[in-house]
């Protein structure tokens, strides 16, 4: 076997090993992406469960004791958000349409978007 054939064989073996490792890396990456997608589905399901519990609390006023504290905290967060939004409207000298929720000038009597009386 000549030196050239020996070098060619070593390069070929190295290329095959690199291709194999590259293929494994691609496959592992795909599998990790699948895991992440499934974990995202779980997080969404958790959020949906939480929304259902909170909607029950909002409508009925009662949920299990283990959820009550969290629901009250969410209600408090929503109140802070509403107050902060109102401050922004006050700073901009605007009001919110009672019909469609659009931002309106304070002196407007009818909403130009939905026609609701203000």
Question: Residues of the chain with pLDDT > 70: what percent?
Answer: 99
Which ranges constitute the DSSP H helices of the chain? 3-60, 65-92
**Within-domain flag for 92:** no
- Does the predicted TM-score (pTM) go above 0.75? no
pLDDT of residue 1: 60
**Within-domain flag for 97:** no
Q: Tally the residues of the chain.
A: 118
**Within-domain flag for 110:** no
**Within-domain flag for 25:** yes
pLDDT of residue 112: 95
User: What tens digit of pLDDT does each residue of 35-65 get?
Assistant: 999 999 999 999 999 999 999 999 998 888 9
Residue 51 tokens read as: 């929304």
Number of compact structural domains in the chain: 1
User: What parts of the chain have a pLDDT lower than 70?
Assistant: 1
Measured CA to CA, the distance from residue 7 to residue 20 in angstroms comes to 20
């Amino acid at each position: 076997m000549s030196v050239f054939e020996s070098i060619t064989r070593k390069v070929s073996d190295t290329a095959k090993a690199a291709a194999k490792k590259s293929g494994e890396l691609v496959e592992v990456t795909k599998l990790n992406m699948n895991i992440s997608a499934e974990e995202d589905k779980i997080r969404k399901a958790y959020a949906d469960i939480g929304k259902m519990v909170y909607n029950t609390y909002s409508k009925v006023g009662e949920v299990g004791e283990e959820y009550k504290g969290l629901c009250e905290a969410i209600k408090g967060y929503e109140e802070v958000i509403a107050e902060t939004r109102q401050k922004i409207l006050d700073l901009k000298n605007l009001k919110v349409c009672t019909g469609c929720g659009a931002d309106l000038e304070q002196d407007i009597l009818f909403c130009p978007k939905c026609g609701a009386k203000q």
